[in-house]
Amino acid sequence: MSIKFYNTLSRKLEIFKPIEKKTVKIYSCGPTVYNYAHIGNFRSYIFNDLLRRFLLYEGYKVIQVMNITDVDDKTITGANQQKIPLKEYTDQYTKAFFEDMETLGIEKVEYYPKATDHIDDMIELIRKLEKKGYIYVSEGSVYFKISEFKDYGKLSNIDPKGMKDGVRIDADEYTKDNAKDFVLWKKAKEGEPSWETEYGKGRPGWHIECSAMSFKFLGETFDIHTGGVDLVFPHHENEIAQSEAANEKPFVRYWIHCAHLIVDGEKMSKSKGNYYTLRDLVKKGYSPLAIRYLLLSTHYRKQVNFTSEGLQAAQSAVNRIQNFYINVKEQKTENIVDHKFNQVLKKHTTAFNTALEDDLNISEALGHFFELMTDANKFMTDKKLTESDKRSLLEAIISFNTILNILDTREQDKLPAHLQELIEKREKARKSKDYKLSDELRDRLKEENIILEDTTEGVKWKVLK
Ligand SMILES: [Zn+2]
């Protein structure tokens, strides 16, 4: 079977064929580092992670770029409010972003370019657009003239006819009703960071950075561009306009967008009190693995409804898979001639792969994984699992986990440093009779499937089964 993705540009499922046979080039819109990322943002980054891990699983080499927007309206406002330099302001949130990505087990991509490191590339692109007659200057800022680009609106399906020529917008974010000539280079304002260039002292608009940085790392035409649906307009529409106007060739072959996340059935917003960063949830004691599973397990084109019941269900799914893995590892095998398990394993593995090849249908793939567990458990109860069955089954679990990344495959005598640290902290708290903290840390470890036993020789731990 071939891989299919839903392409926002054609509005249909398409068979996926990369430009180069075995390499896939992906550009994913990354964070604007003006605050801690919220779980809605992580829905989109986990989707990127699923896409990436799936393509690697299928044997492709992946070259992926995720930009860090460290200069735009929001970062500048934030830095000014805190009265610190822009770089100092964005550095703290860039660092937090990478920490959060690691917490959620999201694999690093090849390149994380920062907008402020690529001002020259953006100017070069503006120069190219100027030569071809797509830009004009007004009051010291440079704008893209959308009426010159005949395909404007093809991604978001808006009709630019009837828009008045020369009506401009300076904001980075706006709605479809406001489709206007957008800003490429903004004239320097008092109190804002700026760069001295041939277009005057100023700073880039938001949209130009993604076009400029994607050419630099992936070339003028590449395979996949991803982002949340909220980026289709204006951000991605404007990226297409700039890129295709400048290079006179298609920009991206497959546009893949993931749906929003809602909390308890409602749009997440600070005023409703249902706005969570990843840090808020971890502080509340939710396990990162459960959060990852919850964000991962809904098909990317469906809205995720984030609820505490959902998190609990995600935690039990993760535990079930973990326990299954441990049981298989410890299973005594039988010396019998029975080739049936191989067929069962093959059936479920093929179904798992086929589901993912069908536009990354992860919920169906997980369903097949659970069916495999039920069937394998039966073989184990009936004492019909041979040594070679066991090896193939463990291989299958580990290979599924290269996509899911929810399994703890650590050996019993080694724990990652942060868990070891928690155990030591808890030991200290217990010795100093701070039972409240000691209990809290014990619960925190339990969330990570680590059970503590206080023995006369000190504390011992085991992985929960
Ligand atoms: Zn972007």
pLDDT tens for residues 147-176? 999 999 999 998 877 677 778 888 888 887
Q: How far is the CA of 143 from the centre of ligand 1 (A)?
A: 18
Residue spans of alpha helices (H) in 382-461: 387-404, 417-431, 435-447
pTM of the model: 0.88
User: Residue 387 is part of a domain; what is its CATH number?
Assistant: 1.10.730.10
Same-domain status, 302 and 392: yes
Domain finish residue from 209, 235, 258: 258
Q: How far is the CA of 122 from the centre of ligand 1 (A)?
A: 13
Residue 383 lies in a domain: yes
Q: How far is the CA of 239 from the centre of ligand 1 (A)?
A: 8
Q: How far is the CA of 327 from the centre of ligand 1 (A)?
A: 45
Q: How far is the CA of 342 from the centre of ligand 1 (A)?
A: 46
Sheet holding 252-258, edge to edge: 61-66, 23-28, 222-228, 252-258
Domain holding 304, by residue range, is: 266-404
Ligand 1 ion: Cβ-proximal residues, 5 Å cutoff: 29, 210
Same-domain status, 442 and 344: no
Residue 251 lies in a domain: yes
Q: How far is the CA of 100 from the centre of ligand 1 (A)?
A: 20
Residue 110 lies in a domain: yes
Q: Is the pLDDT of residue 412 over 60?
A: no
Q: Which of 39-43, 133-137, 167-171 has the lowest mean pLDDT?
A: 167-171
Same-domain status, 248 and 304: no
Tens digits of residue pLDDT in 349-401: 999 999 999 999 999 999 999 999 999 999 999 999 999 999 999 999 999 99
User: Residue 236 is part of a domain; what is its CATH number?
Assistant: 3.40.50.620
Residue 352 lies in a domain: yes
d(CA 232, CA 429): 51
Same-domain status, 243 and 318: no
Q: How far is the CA of 26 from the centre of ligand 1 (A)?
A: 12
Q: How far is the CA of 407 from the centre of ligand 1 (A)?
A: 32
Q: How far is the CA of 410 from the centre of ligand 1 (A)?
A: 37
Confidence of residue 402 (pLDDT cuts 50, 70, 90): very high
Question: Quick one: which H or E segment has residue 318?
Answer: helix 308-330
Q: How far is the CA of 189 from the centre of ligand 1 (A)?
A: 24
Q: How many domains does the chain have?
A: 3
Tens digits of residue pLDDT in 77-94: 999 999 999 999 999 999
Residue 409 lies in a domain: no
Q: How far is the CA of 202 from the centre of ligand 1 (A)?
A: 20
Q: What is the pLDDT of residue 455?
A: 67
Tokens 């071809």 — which residue? Answer: 132
Q: How far is the CA of 463 from the centre of ligand 1 (A)?
A: 41
Strand ranges in 101-236 using DSSP code E only, listed in sequence order: 135-138, 141-144, 168-169, 181-187, 195-197, 200-204, 222-228
C-alpha separations of 183 from 72, 150, 169, 170, 346 in Å:
12, 18, 7, 6, 55
Domain finish residue from 379, 404, 429: 404
Q: Is the pLDDT of residue 302 over 80?
A: yes
Q: How far is the CA of 116 from the centre of ligand 1 (A)?
A: 14
Q: How far is the CA of 237 from the centre of ligand 1 (A)?
A: 10
Residue 59 lies in a domain: yes
Tens digits of residue pLDDT in 205-240: 999 999 999 999 999 999 999 999 999 999 999 999
Residue 380 lies in a domain: yes
Percentage of the chain modeled with pLDDT above 70: 97
Domain finish residue from 207, 226, 258: 258
Q: How many residues are there in the chain?
A: 465
The mean pLDDT value for 424-434 works out to 86
The mean pLDDT value for 407-421 works out to 74
Residue of 360 and 464 predicted with greater confidence: 360
Same-domain status, 116 and 81: yes
Residue of 80 and 461 predicted with greater confidence: 80
Same-domain status, 182 and 289: no
Tens digits of residue pLDDT in 257-296: 999 999 999 999 888 889 999 999 999 989 999 999 999 9
Same-domain status, 399 and 446: no
Q: What is the pLDDT of residue 116?
A: 97
